[in-house]
Amino acid sequence: MKIACVGGGPAGLYLSMLMKLRDPEHDVVVFERNENNSASGWGVTFGQGLLRRLYDQDPDSAREIEGAAFLWSDQVTHIHGQQLVAPGSKAYNITRRRLLDILANRALDLGVRVEYGHEIASVEELPEADVVIASDGVNSRIRQEAGNFQTHDVSGSNKYIWLGTDKVFEQFNFLFVPTESGWVWAHTYGIDSSSSTFIVECAPETWHGLGFAAMSTYEALPILEGIFKEHLSGYRLIGDLGDGTKARWLNFRTISNPRWHSGKVVLVGDSAHTAHFAIGMGTTLAIEDAIVLADSLHNHSNTELAFQSYEQQRKAEMLTTLTEARWSARWFENLSRYIDRRPQQFGALIHARRSPLIALLPPIVSYLLCAGANRMTFLDGVRHRVGPTVKMIYGRRKPTLSQWDAS
């Protein structure tokens, strides 16, 4: 099979690897518009679930990715002068450049051809191929001109800018800072031993009130460093993205497509769907796309059936995640509903933001429900831990409800 991947991001590179691993006779080429030594962005995040899948698919690249990753577990919310720590499961962060290097080198070793500095604007510019993978991101040109994907493109109201910093944040942090024009906040986490991702977000009214609309990126950086000086501790913010471009203020775009394939063209990653950065699942979803599509192409000799199988499976798998991403984005867009709550209440609400109930119920009711659910979880944990002791006390007879209450 002849396969052309347009876009050398995680989805395109990982898919090219997997196709060669499944059948070395496949002719696979990746076209990447950027040069080999450049990559836009800072760090990407993934969890233990994806790492296990990487080991299942290709242990060689998985070991390299795990070895290069920066590990954290706790999430810390800074609000109203307090720090609220929420223990979480392990998460891995890696610089985008390092991840792409690992995947590209592995792809090359397997016989994939990677053509850097080669921008593809149309399917007609590609060599003959049985399958064309549109892995060229949120602004996918292939998606725009190659078929009727019925794309929905919805922009969020908040403004954000994706920066870096040379301060290493050992945990994931939400930093909320009041200004004379409203609240500004950052999502920040370490990505290696010398840097962190630092995404700044605010309401459009705050963005205009602080004058960012009239500033260049480099004019905005000192202002932002001043806003977050307590958290940066003298370290700088960095606006260079690593590919010769500068970070810009944007509105997050939620991309969805009722159809993911047309003819021999199939969408993967951000060209097919986007998930708001507040849940940190973009790279995970893209790589999982690649895994399922590679399996479908390997298991179906008919590409149309393969595309249908891939699309149906991935849409079903991602439904919950994409729904949570939309509610999470909406939570931040309606921050004024929650920001004046007491710190403990605010902390509970930010960690429950993926639920649609949070947007529908009064914040105090949502908090009470969260607190009640947490108490039940705690009691379940206690009962699980003391179970063996109870069994020793009562022998084979199970304790009654009154005995649990007495304990």
pLDDT for residue 43 is more than 80: yes
Three-state DSSP class for residue 91:
strand
| Amino acid at site 172 | F
Enumerate the β-bridge partners of residue 152: 256
Contacts of 311 (CB under 8 A, 6+ apart): 259, 260, 261
Lowest mean pLDDT among 89-93, 133-137, 217-221, 243-247: 243-247
The whole-angstrom separation of Cα 238 and Cα 261 is 38
Share of the chain above pLDDT 90, in %: 81
Is pLDDT at 113 greater than 80 in this prediction? yes
Assign 250 to helix, strand or coil.
strand
Question: Would you mind telling me the total number of residues written for the chain in this entry?
Answer: 407
Residues 6+ apart with CB under 8 A from 331: 278, 338, 349, 350, 353, 358, 359
Helices (H), 303-355: 303-333, 343-351
SS3 258: coil
pLDDT at 385 over 70: no
The C-alpha atoms of residue 179 and residue 176 are separated, in whole angstroms, by 10
In whole angstroms, give the CA distance from residue 120 to residue 7.
Answer: 9
CA distances from 96 to 39, 85, 148, 273 (A): 7, 27, 31, 19
Helix (H) / strand (E) element for 383: namely helix 363-394
Per-residue pLDDT at 35: 84
DSSP 139: T
What value does the mean pLDDT of the chain take? Answer: 90
Please choose, from the candidates 159, 198, 184, the residue with its C-alpha nearest in 3D space to the C-alpha of residue 43: 198
pLDDT tens column, 60-95: 999 999 999 999 889 999 999 999 998 877 899 999
Which pair of tokens denotes residue 262?
């047309």
The fraction of the chain above a pLDDT of 70, given in percent, is 91
Q: What is the DSSP letter of 399?
A: P
Which token pair is 90? 């392990």
The pTM (predicted TM-score) of the whole model is 0.89
d(CA 340, CA 124): 55
- For residues 187 and 142, the answer to whether their CB atoms sit within 8 Å is no
Q: Is the dihedral of CA 130, 136, 142, 144 positive or negative?
A: positive
Closest by CA to 42, choosing from 185, 200, 184, 182, is 200
Q: Is the per-residue pLDDT at 387 higher than 60? A: no
The per-residue pLDDT for range 259-300, each reduced to its tens digit, is: 999 999 999 999 999 999 999 999 999 999 999 999 999 999
Burial grade of 104 (CB within 10 A; 0-12, 13-18, 19 or more):
buried
Tokens standing for residue 298: 């390997």
Nearest CA to 260 out of 324, 313, 326, 299 is that of: 313
- With a CB cutoff of 8 Å and minimum separation 6, the contacts of 137 are 7, 9, 269, 270, 271
In the sheet with 91-95, reading across from the earlier edge strand, the strands are 43-47, 91-95, 70-72
Helix (H, G, I), strand (E, B) or coil at 172: strand
pLDDT at position 37 is 65
| Beta-carbon count within 10 A of 124 CB | 8
Question: Of 142, 99, 96, whose CA–CA distance to 121 is shortest?
Answer: 142
